[in-house]
Structure formats: structure tokens, C-alpha cells
Amino acid sequence: MDASILLALRDPAGVPFYPVVFQALYVLTWALHAAFVLLALGSMGLSLYGTMKQKTDSHWKILTPHLIQTGKISVSILIVLGVAPLLFTQVIYDPNWYVANTLSGMWVFIFIYTLIVGYSMYYWYYYANKSSQGGGKLIGLISFGILVFCGILMHNFAVTSIMPNDWMDMYAPNGVVDTSGWTFNIDILRLIFMVSLSIPVVGIFLQNYARFLSTRENFSQEFISHASSLGTKLSVVGLLLSAATFVLWMIAIGYLLHPLSLATVVGVVVLLFLSAKNTNSYITTGVLVIVALLISALRELIRYDIMGQLGYSIYDYPVNLEIPTLLMFLSTFLVMGGVGVAYLLTMAWKVGKTQGIFDGSKDIWVNKLGTYTISIMVAWMVIFFGWGMTFLFKNIL
Amino acid sequence: MDFIGQFPLFYFPEYGSAWIMGVTGTIHILASHTSVGAAMLFAFLAHKAYKENRTDLYPYMKKYGMFLLIFSYVMGSITGPGIWYTATAASPVGISALIHNFVWVWATEWVFFVYEVIGVFALVYFMGKIDTKTHLKLTYTFALASVGTLALIIGIISFMMWPGTDAYYATGSASDAFFGINTFPHMFLRIGFMIMMSGVIGLVIASAIKKENQSLSAELTVKMGYIAMFGGFITLFFFMWYMGTLPDNAHAVFNITKDEVILNRIILAIVFSLYFLVAILKPRFINPTLASVMIGVILIFGLWPGEKLRESMRKPYVAGQYIYSNQIVSRDVPGKGIKSELPVIAQKGLLQVNPFVPENLKTITDSNRLEAGELLTKIACSNCHSLENNGKFRPLAARLQGVDKDGIIGILNAMGAGAFPYMPTLQLPQDEYDAIAEYLVSKQY
Ligand code: HEM
């Protein structure tokens, strides 16, 4: 695929802001998406093991429903967090994303419906397990399988989108056009590496879980240390596994000695060390976030290089500045998003730490943040309507 | 220019790829409107419970509201990206235009989504774990955030129909594109529908608690009846207004099926008014089965035809009245430096300028004419018409039955001259018309 075609596939409207900003946002938000994908898959998978132990083992009896719940909430969050990179990738790599989506049109369609079915079955699993110890094993397993399959489809879109040289062969093998949308590609090392990360992620999650609950009196010390040591085991074994697949993947694509790849390896070693010692899992989590960002950046680097070799650079994308909506985004993101999410998370933290009912009306911060959030939202609406009416009057009068 | 921005074609046999997008869209509309409606209903109940100290309401809110809230929210949040994904496969250039005009608007909506997704679980799982006053505040913010997502998406989907004024073409500004003359009627049409949906689902809940608490059930059923009636009225009122803010081409398509559509809407209005009246006057007659069936009725007889109509009325465009459904930029947008692709297509032909046409089909010869004709027809027509003899979606088979090759060439020339307001003014070189006609004749419709 030569540059003239790739450049023609860009949107004639240009990009509404400097491409590097979208690139940075893409790297950042994909890392967030990935973090919850991994937490979801990890906790769901581990919960399935838990359903087999739940009846006889008192620790698993407590842990299993918590894992199921974690998986359930994480799927919702990963979906929402996936929207952001979906947006940003289409702004700067629209040729790639749209070709991948049309070539795999059938899979795109299947992705959505399997996700609906898989996630609905997950609720079924949740309710079945709630009503009887060890219940819902089979449903949970099927649901887990479906959601893993969704991840494989995601991987197909990502991989197909960075194979521009093969697009023509996928669309019209031997000159015969195929509009069926059944294109499917897998890069097995990359996929295994991505999915393998769910083991250390759930491991570190368990370490955090144990640490968080250790201040609550209604959880026994025994249970806490059981959860914590299980977490340590999982993260150590998982990290070794991920590290091995990572190195293989890097060798296969010739990136092993790239600084970003080396930085990732260092990051993983640090993680291994920190999680093995498990002195403060919150710090481990901080490092995990950095490693996630490195991996996200590496994915972007691979794509950037492939496209660069073909003569497509996002930095040359024509810019058509669009300031007012950018200001809306920034202010909403920083002010409403910042305050609102702080409100919810502060509340969640305090509820989690409290035995019995948490009285938020007596808590200065929860109270204040709540009032601020409402006021900001109301003000937001007022500005929205004011802005709209100004433009409408200007344009129709 | 050597090439224009066209992508590989994805064609879903018999139905067409636009149709499967419509299916996802219909489910999404039900889920998302129910979800915002549920958020408002929840805020209403929480408000009532708190202000009137009605502790009897909380258990029911927890038991039923929860499932509803989460389930509709979850379905809404999957089918939302779902429409986006399927629209991408069906209409990449259209989606690209929306993204490149509105990326910051969508990013803003995303902030609301993030608030909502954490909020929905907080709302549900903290019930009984936090004091009622804090919980009430939380429900308010959740309802506000839900309405915020509507406020942000509405200008984008209104723009798909048309920018509403000419300002956008000159300025290229997202504000001009977003706030067109049909944005606000459209917004309140949907708010009305959300209010109605909150009543409609409220009826399921209210009637389901009949066994446990007869008087509360009756009280809530009556209330939901009023709410739904009010929402229905708002919907109808703004529907009227909305129709008045649509462009001419929309009315051209609407007129084809006008009588049928109006009859359908009148029947629906009567049936639902009666239903809500029963809820108000004879609350005991409402039961969960009936209430659930009525949701199905809304989905199948209200939303599905509504979606198909909205899709049709946008014809021949898919977005902003500058991109045709068959992915061709059809006019200049000086504000963005966009140029119409029609002249170059008329001059060189689709096969030459579409980058995904394989070499062996770039030039029409006697040996590849049929194959080239098939590809051309798919590119030019399949986004709006299914091609098979037993096609289901606005099938060409029914529209070209018994028409011979000259007849088809005549139709194509008429299209090229802009004779059909609802079809693209797609002028092609004669040899491409010829190939299309040859292919269509070979189908023996
Ligand atoms: C259970 C559901 C999901 C799973 C397991 C999943 C998993 C993944 C994985 C493994 C990747 C990385 C693929 C690779 O680089 O090889 C990925 C990428 C991505 N996912 Fe998801 N995902 C899910 C749902 C979603 C949803 C619903 C969205 C959109 C709302 C989304 C948006 C994205 C985006 C935009 C990318 C980056 C693609 C690219 O630019 O190359 N994901 N996802």
C-alpha cells in the first residue's frame, strides 16, 4: 500500500487539533482500558477456580463472590474506558481503523452481540453464585470464554489495522473482491502476552484487596494473609510468564533492544521484585500503571513505525483547529470529571473502610464534593443551553 | 487527485450493512432512553422517599430499580459503542466525518460516561450502606449526568440529518454544526420519550410489587401513569416541531410512505394513551406481563419503524448533507477545505479513483465487464439497496423488475442528472453505467 493511497484515506476535514495530543491521549486511555480488561479477565478466571473450592474452603467462600463482583464491575468500566482510545485512534489513524473494520465487518457485528451475550451471562453467573455456593460454574465458564473471545476479536482489529501491505490481498485475493467482512488475523505472541498479563494484574489486585481490608475488623487475619499470599504467588508466576512471552514477541518483531522495550523489561523486573516482597502493594500498583503506559506506548511505536516506513506520518496530518469544543472538553474533563470522580471514589473508599452505615452527610469532604458536583453539573447545563442559543440566534436571525 | 477516500466495502448479504446497523441502533435507543429514564425515575423516587420520609419506598427501589438501572445502563453502554462499530463497518466515511468534526464533543460525553459507570454501581451497592441524604445527592448527580450524555450526543445525530443552517459549510465550526435548527426540538423529543420510558418501566416495577404491598403498588402505578402520559405528550409535541425542522430531501422520502407512517403513529398514540389512562384510573388492571409486553410493542412498532424512517429521511446523505450514503463527498465545505468528489468521479470513473479496486478491474473490458459491474453496483448502490433477488432492504429486485438494459441505463443517467432527490447525483462515465446495467440485467429481477 503506497503513501498516496494512505494519504487519500485520511479525512478531508483534517484533524481538529495537533496530532501529537491525540496520540498522547490514545496511549494514556488505552492503558486504562487495558488495565481493566486485564483485571476483568483475571478476576473472572480466578473466580471460576473459586467456585470449585467455595463449598469446602472458608477463604474461597468469601473471596469468590468478591472476585465475581470485581469482574462484573470491571467489564463495565473497561467498556467505557475503551470508548476513549476508540475515539482517538480514529482521529489520527483513520485509514487503518476503517480498513480493519470494513475488512472484518462481520466480526465487528459479532463482537457487539457476543459482548452483550457474554456480559449478560456474566450477570446470570453472578446471581446463580449468589443464590447457591459454588453455583453458576458452567454459565460462568461460558461467559468467560465469550469475553475472552471478544478480546481475541479486538486483537484481530488491532492487528489487521497495522498490516497495510496485506490489505489488498485480504480484500481481493487473486483479484477477486470479497465483501463478506470475514477477515481475521492473529499475532499469537502479541495476543498471548496481552492476555497473560491478566494473571499478575489479578495478583496485585489481591494484594491491594488484602491491604485495604486489613483495617476492617470483620475480616479475619487469616483470610487477609491467605488472600495476600495468593496474590503474591499469582503475580510472581504471572510476571515470569508475561516476561517470557514479552521477550519472545519482541524478538519476533525485532524490537527487543529498543529503549522502550528495555524500559518495559526493567519495569517488569521491578514489579516482580516489589510484588514478591509485597511491603506496600499500593506502590506496586503505581509501578504497574507505569508499565501499562510503557506497553501502550510500545504498541503505538510499532504502529507508528509501520506507517512511517510507508510514508504516512500522523504529524503531517493537516490541522483544522477547533477551539470551542476543545475548551468544553478540557473544562469538563478537569473540573467536572476531576471533582465528580473524586467525589465518587472518596465515597467508595470510605464506605469500604466503614463497618455498618457510612454517614456521608457528616463527612466534610464527601459532603462538599457532592455539592460541588451538583453545582458544576447544573452550571454545565446552563452554559450548554446558553452556547446553543447564542449560535442558533446568530445563524437564523 | 488520484484517489478518493474510499474503503473496502463490507456488504451483509440480503440485508445490507446499513440494516444491521439499524438493528443495533434500535436496541440502543430502547436501552439508552430507558437508562436515562430510569435515572430520572430513580431520582424522583429517592427524592420522594427522602422528603416525605417514606422509608417503605427504599426496599422496592433496591429490589427492582437496581436491576433495571444496571441492566439498562449496561445494555446502553454496550450498544452505544455497538452502533458506532457497526456504523464504522457500514459507513466508514460517514463516521469519519462525524469523528473529525466532533471528537471533542464525544470526548466530553466520555467524561460523563465515566462518571455514570462508577456512579451506577455506587448508586446501587451503597444503598443501605450510606445515609439517605448522601444517597439522594448521588441520585441527583447521576440523573444530571445521564441527561448530559443526551445533550452531547443530540447535536451530533442532528447533524447527521443536516447542519440546520448554512453557517457550518462556511465556518467549519463544530458549534455551527452542532446547534442546528433541529437540535433542540430533537433533544426535547427524546427527553419526552425518556420521561415516558421511565413511566413505562415504572409500571413494570409498580405492578410487580402488588402481592407484597397492594396499596403502594396502586399508588405508584397511578403516578407512573401520569408520568408516562406527560412524557408521551412531550414526545408528540416535539415530534411535530421536529418534523418541521427537517430539510426538503427528508420530506421527499417521508412523502413516499407518509400515510402509512402517520397511521402507525396515530394508532400508537391511541393505544398508549389508553394504556396510561388505565394505569391512572384502574391501576389494578396493570400487571407485569402486560407492562412488559407494552415495552416490546414500543420496540417493535415504535422504535424499529422510527429508526428506519430516520435512516430513510437522511437519504441520499449519511452525514451533514455533504456525504452520500455510498461514502462519496458530494459538496464543497470551504470551512474545512473539503472538496466535492463528484467531478473527479464523473471524469475518471469510480473504478479508477477507488483505491481498493484490484488492478484487473480498473479498466473495463469485455471479459471483466460483469465482474466490474457487480463491484460498481455494490459500491454505488448497496448501501441503500440490497442486490439479491430475494433481498430484504429496499431491494433493487422490486424496483427494477423487468426493466431492460436500456431502461436501466436511462435510470442511471437520470440519477446522474440529479432527477431523484433521495438518491445521490452520481454521474459516471458511460462504460461504468454500461457495466452496472449489464450486471443488473444479468440478475434477471
Ligand atoms: C470484553 C470485552 C473486551 C476485551 C476483552 C478487550 C480486549 C482488548 C485487547 C486485548 C486489546 C489489545 C489488542 C492488541 O493490541 O492486540 C484491545 C484493544 C482495544 N480495545 Fe478492547 N476489549 C474489549 C472491549 C472493548 C470495547 C467495548 C471497546 C470500545 C468501546 C474497546 C476498545 C478498544 C480499542 C479502541 C483498542 C485499541 C485498538 C487499536 O487501536 O489498535 N474494547 N482490547
Burial class (CB in 10 A: 0-12, 13-18, 19+), A283: exposed
A92 Cβ inside 6 Å of ligand 1:
no
Please report, as a single letter, which amino acid is at residue A275: S
Across A166-204, b (16+ Cβ under 10 Å) vs e yields ebbebbbeeeebebebebebebebbbbbbbbbbbbbbbb
Which stretches within B52-182 are classed as H helix? 57-60, 66-90, 92-125, 132-161, 167-171, 174-178
Q: How far is A248 from chain B (nearest CA, A)?
A: 32
Of the pLDDT bands very low, low, confident and very high (cuts 50, 70, 90), residue A377 is very high
CA A80 to each of CA A76, B42, B112: distance values in angstroms, whole numbers, following the listed order: 7, 22, 10
Of the pLDDT bands very low, low, confident and very high (cuts 50, 70, 90), residue A4 is very high
Measured CA to CA, the distance from residue A19 to residue B70 in angstroms comes to 37
CA B11 to each of CA A99, A159, B66, B370: distance values in angstroms, whole numbers, following the listed order: 14, 22, 40, 18
Query: CB–CB of B323/B317 below 8 Å?
Result: yes
Query: CB–CB of B165/B181 below 8 Å?
Result: yes
Measured CA to CA, the distance from residue B433 to residue B445 in angstroms comes to 18
**Cβ B140–A374 below 8 Å, yes or no?**
yes
In this complex, the residue of B96, B104, B126 whose CB is nearest that of residue A326 is B104
The answer to whether A99 contacts chain B (CB < 8 Å) is yes
Query: CB–CB of B168/B320 below 8 Å?
Result: yes
Measured CA to CA, the distance from residue A261 to residue A35 in angstroms comes to 19
User: What mean pLDDT is reported for chain A?
Assistant: 95
> Which residues are A9's β-sheet partners?
none
Angle at A391 between CA B32 and CA B163, to 5 degrees: 60
Smallest CA–CA distance from A174 into chain B, residue: B358
Phi, psi of B129 (to 5 degrees): -105, -15
Q: What is the pLDDT of residue B151?
A: 96
Tell me which residue has cell 420510558.
B197
The answer to whether A28 contacts chain B (CB < 8 Å) is no
Tell me which residue has cell 427504599.
B58
A83 Cβ inside 6 Å of ligand 1:
yes
Cell reading at A291: 508499565
Q: What is the pLDDT of residue A260?
A: 97
CA of A151 to the centre of ligand 1 (A): 6
Kindly report the number of other CB atoms within 10 A of residue B25's CB atom.
22
The answer to whether A395 contacts chain B (CB < 8 Å) is yes
Q: Counting every residue, how long is chain B?
A: 445
Nearest CA to ligand 1 atom 20: A82
Q: Count residue pairs from A and B with Cβ separation < 8 A.
A: 309
The answer to whether A218 contacts chain B (CB < 8 Å) is no
Query: CB–CB of A61/A54 below 8 Å?
Result: yes
Mean pLDDT in runs of 10 for chain B (445 residues)?
90 87 90 90 90 85 72 85 92 96 97 93 88 93 95 95 93 96 95 94 88 89 95 94 90 86 92 96 93 93 87 90 95 95 96 96 95 96 93 92 94 95 95 96 90
Helices A364-396 and B183-208: crossing angle in degrees, nearest 10, is 140
Kindly report the number of other CB atoms within 10 A of residue B288's CB atom.
15
> Which residues are B323's β-sheet partners?
B319, B329
Phi, psi of A155 (to 5 degrees): -60, -40
Smallest CA–CA distance from A330 into chain B, residue: B108
Measured CA to CA, the distance from residue B353 to residue B379 in angstroms comes to 12
Q: How far is B285 from chain A (nearest CA, A)?
A: 31
Measured CA to CA, the distance from residue A278 to residue B379 in angstroms comes to 59
Query: CB–CB of B178/B162 below 8 Å?
Result: no
Peptide bond into B316 cis (omega under 30): yes
Kindly report the number of other CB atoms within 10 A of residue A218's CB atom.
7
CA B342, B344, B345, B351 dihedral sign is negative
Query: CB–CB of B382/B11 below 8 Å?
Result: yes
CA A98 to each of CA A94, B81, B100, B204: distance values in angstroms, whole numbers, following the listed order: 6, 15, 13, 42
DSSP 8-state secondary structure symbol assigned to residue A314: G
Report the top-level CATH class of A3-321. Answer: mainly alpha
DSSP 8-state secondary structure symbol assigned to residue B318: E
**Cβ A360–B134 below 8 Å, yes or no?**
yes
The answer to whether A175 contacts chain B (CB < 8 Å) is yes
CA B295 to each of CA A96, B14, B198, B299: distance values in angstroms, whole numbers, following the listed order: 40, 29, 11, 6
pTM of the model: 0.94
What confidence tens digit (pLDDT) does each residue in A167-178 have?
999 999 999 999
Tell me which residue has cell 446502553.
B76
Q: Is the per-residue pLDDT at A162 higher than 60?
A: yes
Tell me which residue has cell 499478575.
A200
Query: CB–CB of B1/A170 below 8 Å?
Result: no
Element (H, E) at B317: strand B317-319
**Collapsed DSSP state (helix, strand, coil) of residue B323:** strand
CA B357 to each of CA A6, B110, B325, B367: distance values in angstroms, whole numbers, following the listed order: 14, 37, 19, 16
Which chain B residues contact residue A4 at CB under 8 A? Answer: 2-3
**Closest ligand 1 atom to the C-alpha of B78?**
27
SS percent in chain A: helix, strand, coil, step 5: 80, 0, 15
ipTM for the predicted complex:
0.94
SS percent in chain B: helix, strand, coil, step 5: 70, 0, 25
Element (H, E) at A188: helix A188-196
Cell reading at A40: 476483568
Q: Which residues of chain A from 38 to 77 reach within 8 Å of chain B, CB to CB?
A: 73, 76-77
Burial class (CB in 10 A: 0-12, 13-18, 19+), B125: middle
Burial class (CB in 10 A: 0-12, 13-18, 19+), B375: buried
The candidate with the shortest Cα–Cα distance to B314, out of B91, B64, B56, B103, is B91
Measured CA to CA, the distance from residue B419 to residue B274 in angstroms comes to 45
Query: Which of A154, A245, A296 is the pocket-test mutation for ligand 1 (most atoms within 8 Å of CB)?
Result: A154
- Give the list of residues 6+ apart from residue B386 with CB closer than 8 angstroms, or none: B14, B15, B16, B19, B392, B393, B394, B395, B396
In this complex, the residue of A12, A358, A380 whose CB is nearest that of residue B5 is A12
The candidate with the shortest Cα–Cα distance to B2, out of B247, B357, B277, B288, is B357
Smallest CA–CA distance from B74 into chain A, residue: A76
Measured CA to CA, the distance from residue B143 to residue B109 in angstroms comes to 14
Nearest CA to ligand 1 atom 12: A155
Smallest CA–CA distance from A386 into chain B, residue: B179
Q: How far is A119 from chain B (nearest CA, A)?
A: 9
Phi, psi of B317 (to 5 degrees): -100, 160
What confidence tens digit (pLDDT) does each residue in A247-300 have?
999 999 999 999 999 999 999 999 999 999 999 999 999 999 999 999 999 999
A72 Cβ inside 6 Å of ligand 1:
no
Smallest CA–CA distance from A91 into chain B, residue: B100
A122 Cβ inside 6 Å of ligand 1:
no
Which stretches within B162-213 are classed as H helix? 167-171, 174-178, 183-208
Phi, psi of B323 (to 5 degrees): -125, 125
